[in-house]
Amino acid sequence: DIFYSTLFTDHNTNRAKGVACTDTLYGITGIINEMLVYSDKNTVELLPALSSNIPAGNISGLLTRAGVRVDYLSWDVDKRNVKADLTALRDTSFNLVLNNKAYIGEENESKCVVVQLKKGERYCFMG
């Protein structure tokens, strides 16, 4: 057991020394963020790799490579409920995908929804 409750790890895997290491902390944070929101310059995918260990939850403040901020994302697998509020940080157009499916708007042939926003505009949905 090398993890502390804060997700820091013990540097030498010997708790007796009490030397905390932040390397794993940053890596785990990035992994969890990309499990919840994946993006590239043309795509924002919500919950692409949601673990069964996280059946419900929420997150806020994630920035995407598509130029939008995820102001709020919540999900509840049992209730089949997803809510997201996105804000454009610049004029942008991107494909929005929710767990490999388009749940909102009209799908294109790639099974995603094309969203076009001007800087400062918000896009909200429940699925």
What is the residue whose two structure tokens read 């994302």? Answer: 73
Give pLDDT, residue 104. 47
Determine how many CB atoms are found less than 10 A away from the CB of residue 116: 11
Give pLDDT, residue 46. 93
Give pLDDT, residue 6. 73
Please enumerate in sequence order all residues whose Cβ is within 8 A of that of 122, keeping only pairs 6 or more positions apart, or say none: 71, 85, 86, 87, 88
Judge: domain 37-126, CATH 2.60.40.1180.
yes
Give pLDDT, residue 18. 66
Reported pTM: 0.78
Grouped pLDDT means (10 residues each) for the chain, 127 residues: 72 66 78 94 92 93 97 94 96 86 53 87 89
Give pLDDT, residue 75. 95
- Kindly list the domain boundaries of the chain, sorted by start residue: 37-126
